[in-house]
Amino acid sequence: MEHNDDLCRPYALARLSLVRPTVHNADWQNRDGATDETCYALPMFGLFKLFGQSPALNALDDGLRAHGLHPLLVPDAVKLTVVRLHKEEARARGMDAAYYDAAELLAYCMHGRKTFLESNSANAADHAEHRVEAAIDAGDSRDAKLIILALHAGIIAPEIADRLDIEDQ
């Protein structure tokens, strides 16, 4: 196998839009048993939390805390989906405002009205209640997707789930 030094340099890989750093090991064998001079190692820094969460996840966590819901009670998959659903809104309105509103509805769906009122004002509970009603009526809005996400993740309060008209298939 011909070895190309240009492909072993990290800047050359970045130029080729390959984000993987190279690890040189002349004794590395691939699955066929052939020796290869270059092995690509995937960076695992996110796994070890060396760089922390993204600013979007931090903004969502702050919004959840502001509405009386500890971020550890929300599964990471749900948080990542919320961030993906609200990405465009975050660009338009600002990250803090977009994720604060998403956290309000998610906290309301997880707590239910009574528990939500313990850590929030009656005005905030009425606003979240109105958003739930509007989402149920609209059927295909960002808020409706957030409510369905909470339902499918199994983190929705029973009183909110009972109001949804979902057909079993």
Residue 67 has, within 13 A of its CA and on its CB side, a CA count of: 31
Q: Computed from CA positions of residues 125, 126, 129, 131, in that sequence, does the dihedral angle turn out positive or negative?
A: negative
Q: Write out pLDDT tens, residues 107-152.
A: 999 999 999 999 999 999 999 999 999 998 888 889 999 999 999 9
According to the model, what pLDDT value does residue 49 have? 57
Residues sharing a CB contact under 8 Å with residue 35, sequence separation 6 or more, in sequence order? 26, 27, 28, 29
Q: Are 160 and 109 in contact (CB under 8 A)?
A: yes
Alpha helical stretches, state H, 94-139: 95-111, 113-119, 122-138
What gap in Å lies between CA 78 and CA 60, rounded to an integer?
11
CB within 8 A of 151, min separation 6: which ones? 161, 164, 166
Domain ranges of the chain: 5-40, 55-161
Q: Per-residue pLDDT tens for 151-168?
A: 999 999 999 998 886 654
Half-sphere exposure of 49 (CA within 13 A, CB side): 2
Q: For 23-76, write each residue's pLDDT tens digit.
A: 444 454 555 555 544 444 444 445 555 667 888 999 999 999 999 999 999 999
- DSSP code of 72? G
